[in-house]
Amino acid sequence: MGKNKLQKRVLDSAKEFIAKEIAPVAAMTDEKEKFPLKNFKEMGRLGFLGIPYPEKFGGAELDYLTYATIVREIAKVCASTAMSVVAHTGLAGNPIFSFGSEKQKIKFLKPLALGEKIGAFGLTEPNAGSDIAAMETTAEKKENHYILNGTKIFITNANVADIYVVAAKTSPEKGMMGISMFVLEKGTEGFKASGKKEKKLGMKGADTGELIFDNAIVPEKNLIGRKNWGLKILHQTLVGARIGMAAIALGISEGAQKYCLEYVKQRKQFGEYLYHFQSIKNMLADMEMNTSAADLLLQKAAVMKDEGRNVTKEASEAKLFASEMAMKITKDAIQIFGGYGYSQDLPLERFFRDAKITEIGDGTSEIQRLIIADEIIKRPT
């Protein structure tokens, strides 16, 4: 089967699964703050969790644009599920695929791509968010293994994962240049997820917790790439994750816009349909313009990544614009619906709550602006 035909079949299959299985339980996933394990496993069985990875590692061997499109489709109805997918496929899977050994790819990436195991990515700490250099988790070399000590917080999939990609300082005196990346398995001696589930504003169905390393014993063969390569791996991983976050933000916006367009065509006030009012038309026009612009930025970043080009600036642009527009669009959507929009009977208030984290996760909006500025300053004038 040709790539284009396979891509279309996968996307059609994904849309069908999203409509039949994810959409009907989206509200309950949020209300009960319950990770959608059944749907997640089924997505793996159907091939949606290994989209950008080779067939020999359990993937569909398609491109990042297809992956981003599926994330976007999921986020239109359930951003929590989309967030769990990005943490699993983009954050946990990508560093293993891009920098891991052949044995690591077979042992860890393949079960992730097939959905047989769930992945998580451990970077954020109590005293180290945007400031990676402030990381306090350490990995000390002892014979043929490393001893990890420290804590990670706000980790998506923390309590449900089987495979964890974790950052730790192997040469603390070197600051951010002394960071290394490791793969840990559930059940590793000295390592555990605390079981604590964060109570959050949004993305309530995406499991979020903390990881604790208390003299955790990690085999040397679980080091990803080389010692002190962590910054390079983190950069590449986070750039890719920002494309995924942009897809989530755009999906949320499109989900909200769809409800608005249906509503203004059937709701009357003062004897007129809502779409007759100029203030409503202005909001609808801004929604369309901003979703179209976010779409173009997302596609540009994804295509450039598939071409193997440097997408540092483009990924930050896509993520920054899409996330800020998601906040504006979901706010306006609630305004258009009035009291109904504020009610939990409709998903708009959930979209609004979910949108906020897209301005924070994988690098805040402030960090994205710094990255974009730094990238354009480097250019020759």
% of the chain beyond a pLDDT of 90: 94
Region 223-243: mean pLDDT is 97
**Residue 71 burial (CB count, 10 A):** 29
CATH of domain 3-118: 1.10.540.10
Region 114-121: mean pLDDT is 98
Region 329-357: mean pLDDT is 97
Where in the sequence of the chain do the CATH 2.40.110.10 domains occur? 120-230
pLDDT score of 66 more than 80 = yes
Q: What integer pLDDT is reported at residue 83 of this predicted model?
A: 98
Where in the sequence of the chain do the CATH 1.20.140.10 domains occur? 231-378
% of the chain beyond a pLDDT of 70: 99
Burial of 278 (0-12, 13-18, 19+ CB in 10 A): exposed
Q: Which residue has the tokens 């997640």?
A: 40
pLDDT band at 220 (very low <50, low <70, confident <90, very high): very high
Q: What integer pLDDT is reported at residue 273 of this predicted model?
A: 84
Buried b (16+ CB within 10 A) or exposed e, 301-323: bbbbbbeeeebbbbbbbbbbbbb
Check if the beta carbon of residue 332 is closer than 8 Å to that of residue 286.
yes
Where in the sequence of the chain do the CATH 1.10.540.10 domains occur? 3-118
CATH homologous superfamily, domain 120-230: Butyryl-CoA Dehydrogenase, subunit A, domain 2 (2.40.110.10)
Region 33-54: mean pLDDT is 96
Q: What integer pLDDT is reported at residue 145 of this predicted model?
A: 96
Q: What integer pLDDT is reported at residue 303 of this predicted model?
A: 97
Helix (H, G, I), strand (E, B) or coil at 52: coil
Instruction: Report d(CA 156, CA 88) in Å as an integer.
Output: 9
The model's pLDDT over 80-101, given as tens digits with 9 standing for 90+, comes to 999 999 999 999 999 999 999 9
Instruction: Report d(CA 372, CA 356) in Å as an integer.
Output: 21
CATH of domain 231-378: 1.20.140.10
Q: What integer pLDDT is reported at residue 301 of this predicted model?
A: 98
N-terminal to C-terminal alpha carbon distance within the chain: 47
Q: What integer pLDDT is reported at residue 135 of this predicted model?
A: 97
The model's pLDDT over 158-177, given as tens digits with 9 standing for 90+, comes to 999 999 999 999 999 999 99
pLDDT score of 5 more than 90 = no
pLDDT band at 2 (very low <50, low <70, confident <90, very high): low
**DSSP secondary structure letter of residue 266:** T
Across all residues in the chain, what is the average pLDDT? 96
Q: Which residue has the tokens 């899977």?
A: 93
Cα 329 versus chain centre, distance: 20
Q: What integer pLDDT is reported at residue 9 of this predicted model?
A: 93
Supply 24's token pair: 């009907």
Strand pairing report for 268-269 and 223-224: unpaired
Q: Is the pTM of this model over 0.75?
A: yes
Q: What integer pLDDT is reported at residue 1 of this predicted model?
A: 56
Strand pairing report for 138-142 and 119-122: unpaired
Instruction: Report d(CA 314, CA 297) in Å as an integer.
Output: 7
pLDDT score of 27 more than 60 = yes
Q: What integer pLDDT is reported at residue 316 of this predicted model?
A: 98
